[in-house]
Structure 1
Amino acid sequence: MKFRFIALFFLLTICVFSKEDNSSSKIKTYIEKHTKTETAATNIYNSIIEHSNKHDVEPELIAAIIKVESDFKQSTVSRVGATGLMQLMPKTAKLMNVNPNNINSNIKGGTKYIAWCLEQNKNNLTLALASYNAGIGNVKKYNGIPPFKETQNYVKKVMKEYNYLKA
């Protein structure tokens, strides 16, 4: 009986760690596919893992947000002034106390911000994504995803990438 318990525990441990390794490997491969150099991919991956662990946010979610926001291009600046991989607005970057032009700092700020959006929306992922895109005020004002085509499309795109990475 004791041997069976030990064997079962060992098998479960292997399954859990191999799933984490597969997930990490999938994220790393996904990032490499969308970046120009292995060094850039490694830096982005390491930053995602560090900050997702620190803020208790799934790394797949952070990778999906980055894909949709900037396609993994740090130099991206939106027409409204959002900057970097996670497209932080200057006010948000200041609020999160980060430099949006630095890869690690940008991911730190974006991860911290989506963690806050999740908290504000009681871990409702679609509402948190809508808040990340359109602002928490708009989500509260419309009591759900705002009727903005951009935000509705944004939520769908991030969820598609996120579900791909989670599969």
Structure 2
Amino acid sequence: MKLKFIAMFLLLTICIFSKEDNSPSKIEAYVKQNTNTNTTATNIYNSIIEHSEKHDVEPELIAAIIKVESNFKQGSKSQVGATGLMQLMPKTARLLKVNPNNVNSNIKGGTKYIAWCLKQNKNNISLALASYNAGIGNVKKYNGIPPFKETQNYVKKVMKEYNDLKG
């Protein structure tokens, strides 16, 4: 009787926790709709998942940052010299020991950096995003989101994308 109960319990557990539909996650679909090839989408998606798990950052937040920073364009470069999907400044990329021109490395660095920003801001996402955009020094100086139009707009845009992805 005990063996029969254990077998039924295991079978039920497997059924509950197995993913049977094989449909893409919301994030995977989001990445695909914002990229031009399946290979690119797969590489970006896998990198988001890998590094968000490693650094304990929601993958929705990483995808939202990439959307706002570079619109999923790998070769993006800003007027001030930030490069790649997560728009890393050269100095930041060096400190994080990543190659900002490599997709996986760029996402690794950007995820590590936003994880640090979250920690510095006690997991307040808006303040972490402001730190990512304007620097932690400016967030501390103004005791909140700095009064820079670019940073204020950036935080709003990323939060909108993030909240849309979270559903």
TM-score (norm 1): 0.88
Question: Superposition pairs for residues 82-93 of structure 1, below 5 Å?
Answer: 82-93=82-93
Partner of 1:47: 47
Matched, 1:157 2:128: no
Deviations 1:55-76 (A, max 9, x none): 0000000000000000000110
Partner of 2:145: 145
The amino acid across from 1:49 in the alignment is I
In the alignment, the residues of structure 1 paired with residue 67 and residue 18 of structure 2 have an alpha-carbon distance, to the nearest angstrom, of 26
Could you list the runs of 5+ residues in structure 1 that have no partner in the other structure? none
- 1:140–1:33 distance in 2 versus 1, CA, 3 Å: same
Could you list the runs of 5+ residues in structure 2 that have no partner in the other structure? none
SS of the residue corresponding to residue 147 of structure 2 reads: coil
The amino acid across from 1:137 in the alignment is G
In the alignment, the residues of structure 2 paired with residue 125 and residue 43 of structure 1 have an alpha-carbon distance, to the nearest angstrom, of 26
In the alignment, the residues of structure 2 paired with residue 44 and residue 17 of structure 1 have an alpha-carbon distance, to the nearest angstrom, of 24
The amino acid across from 2:135 in the alignment is G
Taking only the aligned residue pairs, the percentage that are identical comes to 77
Q: Which has the higher helix share?
A: 1
In the alignment, the residues of structure 1 paired with residue 64 and residue 111 of structure 2 have an alpha-carbon distance, to the nearest angstrom, of 12
In the alignment, the residues of structure 1 paired with residue 81 and residue 38 of structure 2 have an alpha-carbon distance, to the nearest angstrom, of 28
User: RMSD across aligned C-alpha pairs, in angstroms?
Assistant: 2.0
SS of the residue corresponding to residue 123 of structure 1 reads: coil
Quote the offset at 1:17 in angstroms: 6.7
The amino acid across from 1:127 in the alignment is L
Q: Greater Rg, structure 1 or structure 2?
A: 2
